[in-house]
Structure 1
Amino acid sequence: MNRKNKWIIYGIGLSLLLGGCMNMDNANGNGVDEQKEPSKEMEKQLVSVQNYKGEGYTLPNGEEMDKIAEDNKDEVESAVKSFFKENYKTDIKVHNIVGNEDGATVFVESIGRLHYYTYAIVPIDIDTKKIHGDKVFSEEGQVEDGIKGGLYRLIFQEQFDKLDSYFKDLVSEGEVVGKTEESLQNVGGTGYMTPYYFISTFNNDESIKPVFDIFVKNPEADIEELKSAYVEGSFSPENLLINVRLFMEDKDASPSEEIFKRVANDLERIEGIPKGSYSLYLNDNKVYKDSFTGEKENSLSRGHGNYIVKN
């Protein structure tokens, strides 16, 4: 297979694994996902979301590369830090290295006022065990999406603070929880993320583009300059997805219809939270440790075709 095409296919597969399968929204709106019941083998991968920190996460055919990358950890980390500094003027912290079929996927977190999680890929020659630090790359648009999501969070701080407060209050009641911070760090990689949601942006979002252009040229640009560059009149809710992922706190509980409806109604009702399209998943207590996904047959969802839209 052509190497370039191979990486494209790999990238698509990784995108589906990361961030709780963001493209699995139920096209029918509210209700149960139309997914196959987990096999006994899959059930062995299930672990309580409160206990999951990224252990057991794997990528296809990555066992041998994982060992090579671990043996050359310092070289891999150095190459990835240089990649982000040179291409995005961004300092990053490396949290986790996971072998893939042709190298290592390195999960990182940005350092500084703009916050997001993402990943880069370091090619490795399996025969010579050579780390190709000069050929580090990221999946097309992945880092850019993280930057744009972080910029939305930065320039609409008050609105996102209100959304965060809502989820913290909800969780304090003791019925639902989010993902652990450690899991976001080690296997998140999906841009701006909190334990309760992650942001997705799109290339055709003309409202944030001028802000992005200024920031990538000058990451120290004044916040007022960034806010002024935002084009409010070009904003469309469909270009900013806020993907809510909640879990039952009780380890044996099934997703609660009552809680699901309450959260959906709250998001529709509350004023002053970020504009955009909200998807909502309420899962049971477990995630698959090899893929970091929580969506299952019994998950309750509202998404594609029936987003909660805030204008």
Structure 2
Amino acid sequence: MKKKVIGLLASLLLLGGCFNLNEKTEQEKAQEGTTPVQDYVGQGFSFVDGDKSEELVKRDEEKIKQEAINYMKTTYKTDVKVNNVVPARNAAVVMIECEEPIQFYTSVIMGESINKKGEWSARSNEGEVEQAIVSGLYEKAYETEFRNLDKFTEKSAKENDLLGLRDEAIEKTSSSGYTSNHYFISASSLSFPSVYQAYIENQRIAADELKLLFAKDDPEGNILSIPMEFYSKEDKLPDQEIADNLAERLKQEEGLPKGNYMVTVYKNFIVNRVGLPDGENIDVEEIIK
């Protein structure tokens, strides 16, 4: 799990690209900087070479938004809203959110047609939307347990003087499926084919039926991962003891969703251009609930 998370952080950090050192714009300055997590709301979030398509994306922003919404409705039978449109290399990345009948964040990539100016086509990274849908279905199936997890993480953060991501930051930058201020759900659709197919056939599938399908696809209840993330109130890492104590309390806590948990604590800053910390952390892995 740790290798997967660090790999994700490393790959996203590369998206920032290189910057012109002469006459930097306010956006470029924001992209290069870091922001305390309690103040980060998506400023400077960007993709490599986004400046080259910024004018084009701005011109067709409303059209891009609508095409992304249409793509999600047609391909995944899911209604979404657009939280952010971010210029990218020869494209735009649309950060979207589903609120009903399940909750999740994901993204759609929009590219302008080569032959028809002003026409945009949508696609998504392989498996990303499907994974987001499965994570939202897991939260729906075990809503009571996830509300218990919310209470646990909020209480743990307060008692240990730790912070989490702001709602605005999640909305503007997250494509990680079901995401809260202190955790997200990582669930490959390939591991839950029955769950995913049932949703495509019936978006209003009941929670009880979902529980049966999750149990069918994952009898042991340990395929699905729930990485938990906290941030120090200072720009330094706390002692490893903090992560160890959080992990021990998590092991003892009852009434939480089943899954493979990981507890990670970062310093008090976000790298603006990727909406993530730089990866330096203290952690405890492989906590099976």
1:161 corresponding residue in structure 2: 147
Distance in 2, Cα, partners of 1:102 & 1:238: 40
1:222 corresponding residue in structure 2: 206
Distance in 2, Cα, partners of 1:215 & 1:43: 38
Trace 1:104-183 onto structure 2 (pairs within 5 A): 104-124=92-112, 130-133=117-120, 135-173=121-159, 175-183=161-169
- Describe the shift of the 1:115–1:233 C-alpha distance in structure 2 as closer, same or farther (beyond 3 A): closer
Aligned-CA RMSD value = 2.6
User: Structure 1: which amino acid aligns with 2:175?
Assistant: G
Aligned match for 1:284, one of 267, 278, 281? 267
2:12 corresponding residue in structure 1: none
Other structure's SS at 2:124 match: coil
Distance in 2, Cα, partners of 1:294 & 1:101: 23
CA contact (8 A) 1:191 1:198 kept: yes
Gaps of 5+ in 2: 8-28
CA contact (8 A) 1:147 1:191 kept: yes
CA positional deviation for 1:109:
0.3
2:81 corresponding residue in structure 1: 93
CA positional deviation for 1:96:
0.5
Mean CA deviation greater in 285-294 or 232-241:
232-241
Give the count of matched residue pairs.
Answer: 267
CA contact (8 A) 2:50 2:88 kept: yes
Q: Would you say 1:293 and 2:276 are equivalent positions? A: yes
CA contact (8 A) 1:84 1:90 kept: yes
Query: Which runs of 4 or more aligned residues in structure 1 lie more than 4 Å from their structure 2 counterparts after TM superposition?
Result: 41-44
Distance in 2, Cα, partners of 1:171 & 1:95: 27
CA contact (8 A) 2:101 2:203 kept: no
CA positional deviation for 1:220:
1.9
Q: Which has the higher contact order (CA 8 A, sep 6+)?
A: 1
Other structure's SS at 1:301 match: strand
Q: Would you say 1:212 and 2:173 are equivalent positions? A: no
- Describe the shift of the 1:177–1:22 C-alpha distance in structure 2 as closer, same or farther (beyond 3 A): farther
CA contact (8 A) 1:145 1:191 kept: yes
Of all paired residues, the percent bearing the same amino acid is: 25
CA contact (8 A) 1:123 1:131 kept: no
Distance in 2, Cα, partners of 1:230 & 1:44: 42
Distance in 2, Cα, partners of 1:132 & 1:22: 36
Distance in 1, Cα, partners of 2:88 & 2:32: 22
CA contact (8 A) 1:65 1:124 kept: no
2:256 corresponding residue in structure 1: 273
Other structure's SS at 2:184 match: strand
Other structure's SS at 2:71 match: helix
CA positional deviation for 1:92:
0.7
CA positional deviation for 1:224:
3.2
CA contact (8 A) 1:118 1:189 kept: yes
TM-score normalised according to structure 2 size? 0.84
- Describe the shift of the 1:67–1:210 C-alpha distance in structure 2 as closer, same or farther (beyond 3 A): same
The answer to which structure has the higher helix fraction is 2
- Describe the shift of the 1:221–1:309 C-alpha distance in structure 2 as closer, same or farther (beyond 3 A): closer
Gaps of 5+ in 1: 1-19, 26-40
- Describe the shift of the 1:82–1:203 C-alpha distance in structure 2 as closer, same or farther (beyond 3 A): closer
CA contact (8 A) 1:56 1:289 kept: yes
1:15 corresponding residue in structure 2: none
CA contact (8 A) 2:243 2:284 kept: no
Post-superposition Cα deviations, 1:219-278, rounded to whole Å, max 9, x if no partner, equal 1233333334333573345521111111012x3443243321211111222122111111
Post-superposition Cα deviations, 1:191-216, rounded to whole Å, max 9, x if no partner, equal 110010111112442xx432321111
